[in-house]
Amino acid sequence: MSTSQSDALVFFGATGDLAFKKIFPALQAMSKRGRLDVPVIGVGRSDWTADQLRARARESLEKQGEVDPIAFEKLSGLLRYVSVDYTETATFQALRKELGAAERPAYYLAIPPQMFETVVEHLEKSGCAKGARVLVEKPFGRDLASARELNRILLKTFDESAIFRIDHFLGKSPVNNLHFFRFANAFLDPIWNHHYIESVQVTLAEDFGVQGRGGFYEETGAIRDVIQNHLFQVLTHLAMEAAGGSDSESIRDAKVKVLEAITPLGAEHVVRGQFVGYRDEKGVAADSKVETYAAMRLEIKNERWQGVPFFLRAGKCLPITCTEIVVRLRRPAAGFQELDLKQNALRLQISPEILFALGMNVLGSNEQKPGQSVEMVACRQQTADEPSAYERVLGDAMQADAALFARQDYAEEAWRIVDPVLKADTPVHEYEQNTWGPTVVDKVIVPPGGWHNP
C-alpha cells in the first residue's frame, strides 16, 4: 500500500440516506474492482451492530438491484460499526480503538454540515485526526461567509491537502472529459472563443421533485443544491484555459481563474421558480420561497470569452431528466446570406446519454430551399462496469488524488458569484409540473435563439 493510500475508511452518517443511496453501491463496486481492501467503519448515532450495518448495506444494494455475491461478501468482511455521540469526545475513543493500527484513515462526513465543527473537534481531541484526511459533501457552506467559516474549522485540524470537498459531478466522466475533449482535439481550441462562439447554455433538468428531501431542500434550494457546485463545475470545465500541467493543482488553478473572472450576479441576472405542489411536501413551509428552479445569465470577463453570455438553468419537475450543454456558434461572416441559414450549434449531453451533436448547414436537394440544417450525432452508451461518480470520488480521495475535488479558493469564489442573489430575496415564480419552468424566464433571461429544451 502506498504511503498516500488511506488505510481505513470511516463514514459518518452510516445509517442515513446518502449512505443508503450512494455509498454502499460505491463501496461494493470498489470491492468488486479490487480497489477496497481496508477496514470500512460506519459511524452513526443509532445503537447498531456491525451485522445491522451489513443488513442495511444489503438492503441498499437489493433495492438498486446490484448485489454481487462475491464483492458483497468481501465488503461485508471489511464493514464495522461504531456508535458515536457526536458531541462526546469519550465516544470517539471507541472509534480510535476500532481503527486499530490504521495510521491514515479517511473520514467521510456524510452528515448535516451543522455537525462538522463538533465532529472535527472530537476527532482532533480523541487523537483520531492524526495522519487522517477528511471528505465533506456539497454544498460546502450555504454562502460565502459560512464557507469561509467551514474552511477555518477544517483547517484548524486538517491541512488543505487532507481536505477533499466532494462534488460528485466531478466524478462523472463526461464532465471531466469536457476540458480533455477541448484540448486533446486540435480542431476545437482555435474556435473555442468569442470569435466563433456566440453564447453557451447549460441545462440540468430533472423530471422528479424533492423525493422526500423537503427538509434538506428548504435549507438549500436549486442554486445551492446544484448550480453553485454541479453546474459551475460544468461551466469551469467548458471555459477554462489549458492547465499548466496535468497535475491536480494546475487543473484546479485553471478552474479558479474562470470563476475569478465572473462578476457577482445581480438580482436582474436570475429568475427563480417553484413547482406547484412543492409547498405540500413534507418538511416544506406552507409559505416557502425556496426555489426548485433557477435560470441565470453570467459573463466571463477575460480575453477568450469577451461578450459571450453563459446561461445556466436547473429545475425539478421539468418534462425530462437530462443535463445538456448547447454551444451556439456565430453566423458565417460571408456568403450564403440570402439562404437564411440556421446558426450552428454544438450539443454536448452529459446524461442520460453521452452525446455529441454538431449542427451543420448542407446543400439540400430541394431547389426551393437549397440550404438544409442537419445534425451529426455521436452517442456513447455508458457501459455497466464504468465507475459511478461516487466510486470515482471515494477511490480518488482514498488515494489522495485531489483533481476531482474543489479547493478552498474555488469553493469561496463560487459562493462569491451567487452570494448577492442568495441574499436579494428575489421573487419566486410558480410553474406547473412537467413544464420548462416559470414563463417569465422567456422574457427576462433569454439566450440568443431562445432556450434549447433537451
Q: Which residues bind ligand BG6 (CB under 6 A)?
A: 206, 225-226, 351
Q: For the chain, first and last CA: distance in Å?
A: 46
Q: Read off the C-alpha cell for 420.
A: 448577492
CB of 153 to ligand BG6, least distance (A): 22
Quick check: is 168 catalytic? no
CB of 290 to ligand BG6, least distance (A): 12
Rounded CA separation 433/452 (Å): 18
Of 121 and 206, nearer to ligand BG6 (C-beta) is 206
Rounded CA separation 319/296 (Å): 19
Burial class (CB in 10 A: 0-12, 13-18, 19+), 66: middle
What angle separates helix 116-125 from helix 144-157, to the nearest 10 degrees? 10
Of 210 and 262, nearer to ligand BG6 (C-beta) is 210
In which residue are the cell numbers 453564447 written? 199
CB of 214 to ligand BG6, least distance (A): 12
Of 24 and 158, nearer to ligand BG6 (C-beta) is 24
Of 45 and 316, nearer to ligand BG6 (C-beta) is 316
**SS3 breakdown of the chain: % helix, strand, coil, rounded to 5?**
40, 20, 40
The DSSP code for 443 is H
Helix (H) or strand (E) holding 57: helix 50-63
CB of 270 to ligand BG6, least distance (A): 18
Nearest CA to 223 out of 160, 267, 177 is that of 267
Of 270 and 389, nearer to ligand BG6 (C-beta) is 389
CB of 217 to ligand BG6, least distance (A): 8
Nearest CA to 351 out of 228, 204, 232, 453 is that of 204
**Which sign does the torsion angle of CA 319, 324, 325, 326 carry?**
negative
Query: Which residues lie closer than 8 Å to 34 by C-beta, 6 or more apart?
Result: none
CB of 139 to ligand BG6, least distance (A): 8
Of 7 and 225, nearer to ligand BG6 (C-beta) is 225
Of 175 and 300, nearer to ligand BG6 (C-beta) is 175
Rounded CA separation 119/146 (Å): 17
Of 316 and 328, nearer to ligand BG6 (C-beta) is 316
How remote is the C-alpha of 382 from its chain's centroid? 18
Is residue 198 within 8 Å of 330, Cβ to Cβ? Answer: yes
CB of 314 to ligand BG6, least distance (A): 9
Given 122, 168, 230, 269, which residue is catalytic? 230
Rounded CA separation 357/350 (Å): 12
**Strands across the sheet with 40-44, in order?**
79-83, 40-44, 8-12, 105-109, 133-137, 163-166
Give the E-state strand segments of 206-353 in sequence order: 270-275, 293-299, 309-315, 322-329, 345-351
CB of 437 to ligand BG6, least distance (A): 16
CB of 225 to ligand BG6, least distance (A): 5
Q: Please identify the residue of the shown chain whose CB is closest to the bound ligand BG6.
A: 225
Helix (H) or strand (E) holding 396: helix 389-398
Rounded CA separation 447/325 (Å): 13
Of 225 and 396, nearer to ligand BG6 (C-beta) is 225
What angle separates helix 232-239 from helix 248-260, to the nearest 10 degrees? 100
Catalytic residue numbers, as ranges: 230
